Amino acid sequence: MLEKLKKRWQVNTLGLFLIILTFALGGTLCGIAGKRVMLLTGMEKNITWYLIYILIISILWPACVLLISIPLGQYLFFSAYLLRVKNRIFGKNMETKNIAIFASGAGSNAQKIIDRFRNSSFVNVALIICNKEGAGVKHIAENENIPFLLIDKERFFRGDSYLPELENKNISLIVLAGFLWKIPLALIKAFPQKIINIHPALLPKYGGKGMYGQHVHSAVIAAGEKESGISIHFVDEIYDHGKTIFQATCPIDENDNPESLAQKIHQLEHKHFPEVVEQLLLNEK
What is d(CA 85, CA 105) in angstroms, rounded to the nearest whole number? 36
What is d(CA 76, CA 9) in angstroms, rounded to the nearest whole number? 12
Q: How far is the CB of 280 from ligand GRF (least distance, A)?
A: 17
* Window of 36-44, 117-125, 139-147, 194-202 that interacts with ligand GRF by CB under 6 A: 194-202
Q: Which of 199, 217, 233, 272 is catalytic?
A: 199
What is d(CA 95, CA 208) in angstroms, rounded to the nearest whole number? 36
Closer of 103 and 276 to ligand GRF (Cβ): 103
Binding positions for ligand GRF, 119-178, rule CB under 6 A? 177-178
String of contacts with ligand GRF for each residue 85-104, x by CB under 6 A: ------------------x-
Q: Is 113 in the site for ligand GRF (CB under 6 A)?
A: no
Check: CB of residue 207 under 8 Å from CB of residue 201. Answer: yes
Q: Is 242 in the site for ligand GRF (CB under 6 A)?
A: no
Query: Is 199 among the residues known to form the active site?
Result: yes
Q: How far is the CB of 124 from ligand GRF (least distance, A)?
A: 19
Residue nearest to ligand GRF (CB): 178
Check: CB of residue 125 under 8 Å from CB of residue 113. Answer: yes
Check: CB of residue 116 under 8 Å from CB of residue 278. Answer: yes
Q: How far is the CB of 99 from ligand GRF (least distance, A)?
A: 15
Per DSSP (E only), the strands in the chain are 97-103, 123-130, 148-150, 171-176, 195-199, 227-234, 244-251
What is d(CA 280, CA 83) in angstroms, rounded to the nearest whole number? 11
Q: Is 200 in the site for ligand GRF (CB under 6 A)?
A: yes
Contacting positions for ligand GRF (CB under 6 A): 103, 105-110, 177-178, 198-200, 265-266, 269
Q: Name the residues annotated as catalytic.
A: 199
